[in-house]
Amino acid sequence: MFVDGRFRASSGDDRIDVSFPYDGTVWATVPDGTAADVDTAVGVARAAFESDAWGDAKPSDRRVILNQIADTIDANTRELAELETLQNGKLLREMEQQMEALGEWYRYYGRICEEVESGRTIPVDKKDGQMFNYVRHEPYGVVGAITAWNSPLLLTAWKFAPALAAGNTVVQKPSEETPVSALRFAELVYEHTDLPPGVYNVVPGYGHTGAALTAHPDVDKLAFTGSTAVGREVAKTAGENLTKVSLELGGKSPNVIFPDADLNDAVNGVMKGIFAATGQTCMAGSRVLVHEDVHEEVVARLTEKASDIKLGDPRDPETEMGPVAFRGQWETVHEYVQSGLAEGATITVGGEMPADQPGECFIQPTVFVDVENDMTVAREEIFGPVASVISFEDEAAALDIANDTEFGLAAAIWTRDMDRANRFVETVQAGTVWVNEYRLIAPNSPFGGYKASGLGRENGREGLEEYYQTKSVWYNHAGEVGDPFVLDAE
């Protein structure tokens, strides 16, 4: 574990094997953190929050540290990208790009934490204007951050950078599938920056470690990325403890194609939406809604492109799609493929484990047609390279189908008709909407879910606000308190 600025042993003996999903090689083990470990880390984070070293740090001091973290990432992108790939099997070239961009999250929050205007004065209409009322933004204290395996250090940045910018301290529980990069990142941060010990701590472990962090009474704010099912559990516990919580959960995002779209771009957008990262992204465009006039053509093009995808070692620059991240995920995807077939959908390409790849985590890029929106493959998040293509007859039907889901993370529309695009943007229930694009994110653009896709936002100014609480301060300059038995609420 990485606690109080250094590695230390867990109080337990259980370990987690970390394997490379391409061929199944186990290349690391980490401790399976206990509830006692979580308690230690939270205690350390609390002490750091109350220390002069961190408590007295001004926004400009925090900006300096956030920039140092960004510089540290920049100097170590290759190593961090390799760690990510070895843990979850995502393409090394995608991970390198992600690591090259990662520093920007820290720089962005370093910059904007200096612009948070604590001290906004409010002209309250009291005591003949003799009351002075202003607002302070204060950090919560100890943040418990629980993250998923699909983009481990990116999801870390979405929590750690704003939490730090606002002056909190953090205990992170990374996914049991991908714990190594967070540990190495913490080590690098403490080797190369002035972050005081105890401000960032990492306790690896399975779900029980996350549950211990969620339930810990001294955690002031929880930030969770993961499945909707576990998110509900986290929210329940947070509700009992009245802990502030933000949740970034799953999706079943509609990627909607109209006949007037540039079909070449649209099909590339579908590929980007569902086959990039082997479909393991929360924002995957897993429901492909296609107007009936172009359905046949889009399916033909998509099928051809999907069958051309080059599978292989994610470290090879020629590879376009690697394995899914671990065997359990492969089994989940496989079961969904079987359920699609059983419920009457048809596969135009894929659906099998390829014979020519090592390990046990490869699945072919898969396209389902003849899908109805009430089938399991259209309703549940598969989190794998499986597109469910649904035909629609007009704009109203497209919108109905797009919104007929418990999720609301993202959506896209492909059309040249900007009035139609606007109607879609205004009506679709999703936290992110792309028009003639897919799978773009940025540090300064808020990201998060409607409906069962989450609570709160990450990134952008909204992402920073999640880490402040607001205090309203009243100064009486009038000298008169007035009637003590009447609440002056007018």
Check 84, 96, 113, 282 and give the catalytic one: 282
If one asks whether residue 365 binds ligand NAD (CB under 6 A), the answer comes out as: no
Q: CB of 207 within 8 A of CB of 215?
A: no
Q: Which two tokens stand for residue 57?
A: 């740090």
If one asks whether residue 427 binds ligand NAD (CB under 6 A), the answer comes out as: no
Check 84, 176, 177, 248 and give the catalytic one: 248
If one asks whether residue 84 binds ligand NAD (CB under 6 A), the answer comes out as: no
* Of residues 385-414, those binding ligand NAD (CB under 6 A): 409
* Of residues 262-301, those binding ligand NAD (CB under 6 A): 282
**Catalytic site residue 248?**
yes
Q: CB of 185 within 8 A of CB of 200?
A: no
Shortest distance (Å) from residue 463 CB to ligand NAD: 11
Shortest distance (Å) from residue 328 CB to ligand NAD: 9
Q: CB of 469 within 8 A of CB of 460?
A: no
- Candidate residues 172, 181, 214, 255; the one interacting with ligand NAD per rule CB under 6 A: 214
**Catalytic site residue 282?**
yes
If one asks whether residue 42 binds ligand NAD (CB under 6 A), the answer comes out as: no
Rounded CA-CA distance 163/170 in Å is 7
Shortest distance (Å) from residue 332 CB to ligand NAD: 9
If one asks whether residue 452 binds ligand NAD (CB under 6 A), the answer comes out as: no
Shorter beta-carbon distance to ligand NAD: residue 144 or 314? 144
If one asks whether residue 243 binds ligand NAD (CB under 6 A), the answer comes out as: no
- The site that binds ligand NAD (CB under 6 A) totals a number of residues, namely 30
Shortest distance (Å) from residue 88 CB to ligand NAD: 10
* Of residues 115-154, those binding ligand NAD (CB under 6 A): 146-150
Report which residue's Cβ sits closest to ligand NAD: 210
Shortest distance (Å) from residue 62 CB to ligand NAD: 24
Q: Which stretch binds ligand NAD (CB under 6 A): 225-233, 265-273, 306-314, 466-474?
A: 225-233
Shortest distance (Å) from residue 459 CB to ligand NAD: 9
Shorter beta-carbon distance to ligand NAD: residue 76 or 227? 227
Q: Contact letters (x/-) for ligand NAD, 171-210, by CB under 6 A?
A: --x-xx-----------------------------xx--x
Shorter beta-carbon distance to ligand NAD: residue 140 or 383? 383
If one asks whether residue 456 binds ligand NAD (CB under 6 A), the answer comes out as: no
Site for ligand NAD, rule CB under 6 A: 146-150, 155, 173, 175-176, 206-207, 210-211, 214, 225-227, 230, 233-234, 248-251, 282, 381, 383, 409, 449, 454
Catalytically active residues, by annotation: 248, 282
